[in-house]
């Protein structure tokens, strides 16, 4: 038998692939790749992505297929910077988005939007056992002798830095027993609490899994972790300290990859969609505080108010915190060494 020519064979293979894929090759299906951190996984997978697919179909007639990847925020940022071609990055920390920008992949000012590039919020809280048997009310209670505290390792979990910032910042602001602005007293509180930490898990999720398993008396964690855990049947509760930090989670279009895939319009529409009411309500249903003021009012009952809510900017911003608090000779390292 005469062999078919190479171009013909190639064509046949491609045609077969197209048919296997979609039925017809030029069907208006598009693929958007989302590189996200793990906490909003359910919100994206179960609510927001299907809603966006409907929205886009109505608007343009195109089907959108999603490729979703969920990793710890730092690891996801490194994956994208290292060549994982996500069109949209949804991360836990601004610094992680900045890392992708520094790799030259995000070229626009991603903080320029109406919500400064942020789509969700949360606060650092203290998870306690049902009925709060240890009577934990605020940060100062965590230094009590014999109390077992869980918080993830700040080196392996960028998000765990929020916990330390909340505790340390609350002390600095006079939100604990320490006098306002007394850095020494804040460091002592940090040391005492770190001394009570029995497990420093790899990440926030692992830490809560251990807590659910019965390890520890309290866990320092984010409000959304507790709310999602309770939704899944967890019986624990949480207390909101008098002073705590506001967590803000950014989303950005990864310019280089969105352009490469011809997905700019789609990626930008998705990011815009995340700040719209429908998506904001979905985030709220999964325990994340909305950035949209209107939706925030709707769900205000769901999220207790915080007496003294401060942000990372009140501590001088991440670059200042990374140096002064988490740097090699920063307050955290000193407190950790003193706690041994």
Partner 1 sequence: MSRVSSALNPERGGRMVRAAVLAYIGFLVLLPLAALVQQGLAGGMSALWQAISAPGARSALWLTLWSAAAMALINALMGTATAWALVRYRFPGRSFLSTLVDLPFAIPTLVTGVMLVILYGPHGLIGGWLNAADMKIAFAPPGILLALLFVTLPFVVRAAEPVLLEQDPAEEEAARTLGAGPFIIFLRVLLPPLVPAILSGTVRSFARALGEFGSIVVVSGNIPYKTLTTPIFIFGEIEAGSPQTAAAVSLVLLALAVVLTYAGRALEKWTGVRGV
Binding residues for partner 1, rule: CB under 8 A, are 72, 74-75, 99, 153-158, 197-202, 206, 210, 213-215, 328, 333, 336-337, 339-340
- Please name which of 74, 225, 224 lies closest in space to residue 159, comparing C-alpha atoms: 74
Which of residues 75 and 285 has its CB atom nearest to partner 1 in the complex? 75
What's the closest the beta carbon of residue 74 comes to partner 1, in angstroms?
5
What's the closest the beta carbon of residue 111 comes to partner 1, in angstroms?
21
The single residue listed with the structure tokens 């850095």 is: 183
Range list of β-strands (E), 116-262: 118-128, 149-150, 197-199, 218-222, 237-239, 243-253
Which of residues 106 and 279 has its CB atom nearest to partner 1 in the complex? 106
Which of residues 62 and 319 has its CB atom nearest to partner 1 in the complex? 319
Which of residues 285 and 338 has its CB atom nearest to partner 1 in the complex? 338
What's the closest the beta carbon of residue 213 comes to partner 1, in angstroms?
6
What's the closest the beta carbon of residue 121 comes to partner 1, in angstroms?
24
Q: At what angle do helices 204-212 and 223-231 cross, to 10 degrees?
A: 50
Distance CA 338, CA 65 (A): 52
Range list of β-strands (E), 208-316: 218-222, 237-239, 243-253, 289-290, 308-310
What's the closest the beta carbon of residue 188 comes to partner 1, in angstroms?
18
Which of residues 75 and 239 has its CB atom nearest to partner 1 in the complex? 75
Is the Cβ–Cβ distance between 331 and 168 less than 8 Å? yes
Is the Cβ–Cβ distance between 33 and 90 less than 8 Å? no
Distance CA 224, CA 327 (A): 28
> Residue 211 corresponds to which tokens in the numbers above?
């807590």
Which of residues 156 and 311 has its CB atom nearest to partner 1 in the complex? 156
Which of residues 64 and 197 has its CB atom nearest to partner 1 in the complex? 197
- For the chain, the C-alpha Rg in angstroms (whole number) is 23
- Please name which of 196, 258, 207, 260 lies closest in space to residue 236, comparing C-alpha atoms: 207
What's the closest the beta carbon of residue 156 comes to partner 1, in angstroms?
5
**Secondary structure class of 68 (helix, strand, coil):** strand
End-to-end CA distance of the chain: 79
What's the closest the beta carbon of residue 224 comes to partner 1, in angstroms?
21
């Amino acid at each position: 038998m005469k062999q078919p020519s190479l171009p013909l064979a190639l064509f046949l293979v491609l045609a077969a692939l197209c048919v296997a894929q979609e039925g017809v090759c030029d069907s208006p299906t598009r693929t958007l790749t989302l590189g996200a951190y793990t906490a909003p996984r359910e919100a994206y997978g179960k609510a927001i992505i299907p809603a966006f697919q409907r929205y886009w179909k109505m608007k343009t007639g195109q089907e959108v297929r999603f490729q979703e990847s969920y990793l710890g925020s730092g690891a996801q940022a490194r994956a994208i910077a290292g060549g994982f071609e996500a069109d949209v990055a949804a991360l836990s920390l601004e610094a992680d988005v900045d890392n992708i920008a520094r790799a030259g992949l995000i070229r626009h000012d991603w903080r320029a939007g109406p919500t400064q590039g942020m789509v969700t919020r949360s606060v650092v809280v203290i998870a306690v056992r049902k009925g709060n048997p240890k009577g934990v009310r605020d940060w100062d209670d965590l230094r009590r002798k014999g109390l077992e505290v869980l918080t993830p390792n700040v080196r392996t979990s960028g998000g765990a830095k929020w916990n330390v910032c909340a505790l340390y910042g609350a002390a600095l602001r006079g939100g604990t027993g320490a006098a306002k602005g007394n850095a020494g007293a804040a460091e002592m509180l940090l040391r005492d609490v770190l001394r009570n930490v029995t497990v420093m898990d790899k990440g926030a999720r692992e830490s809560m899994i251990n807590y659910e398993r019965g390890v520890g008396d309290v866990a320092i964690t984010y409000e959304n972790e507790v709310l999602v855990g309770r939704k899944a049947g967890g019986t624990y509760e949480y207390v909101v300290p008098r002073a705590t930090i506001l967590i803000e989670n950014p989303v950005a279009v990864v310019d280089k990859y969105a352009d490469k895939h011809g997905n700019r319009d789609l990626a930008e529409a998705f990011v815009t969609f995340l700040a719209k009411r429908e998506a904001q309500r979905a985030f709220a249903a999964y325990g994340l505080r909305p950035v949209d003021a209107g939706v925030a009012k709707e769900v205000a009952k769901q999220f207790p108010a915080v007496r003294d809510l401060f942000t990372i900017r009140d501590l001088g911003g991440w670059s200042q915190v990374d140096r002064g608090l988490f740097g090699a000779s920063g307050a955290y390292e000193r407190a950790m060494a003193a706690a041994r």
